[in-house]
Amino acid sequence: SRFETCWPALMKDCHGVIIIFNPELPSHLKEIGMWYSCFVQQQPLLDSQCLLVAHHKPGSAGDTENLSLAYPLNKLKLIHSNLEEDPEDVRMEFIKYFRSIITIMNESREREEMSIIS
């Protein structure tokens, strides 16, 4: 991609990755593996620091709701967003995700402080 040269800057000190994709596009389903590999595995981040969002456009076919992704993507938290039907659900999932990232950041900061002290 033409933006690959920017990726190291985007990844620097990154604490979380949200990958949003259209589950109806086969090309997107292929690409999320690449995004996961580059932005999560190579950092390295924990799987819990990555959130997958299958975004359903208004009026799109709903049969992608029971989406089954192959390993290793099937280990990640996957939410479906359909802003017409359930914006509140998506908002709650984002809040939960951000809370978990903050917890991970706090824990790693405490570990660093303890290693400096000891």
Q: List the strands of the sheet with 77-81, edge to edge.
A: 17-21, 50-55, 77-81
pLDDT at 35: 92
> pLDDT tens digits, residue range 84-100?
777 888 999 999 999 99
Torsion sign across C-alpha atoms 33, 37, 38, 43: positive
Is the pLDDT reported for residue 63 higher than 60?
A: no
Q: What is the residue-averaged pLDDT of the chain?
A: 88
Give alpha helix (H) positions in 1-86: 7-11, 26-36
Is the pLDDT reported for residue 2 higher than 70?
A: no
Domain 4-117 indexed as CATH 3.40.50: yes
pLDDT at 67: 82
pTM above 0.85? Answer: no
Task: Please report, for the chain, the start and end positions of each structural domain, with discontinuous segments joined by +.
Answer: 4-117
**Cα 26 from Cα 23, distance rounded (Å):** 7
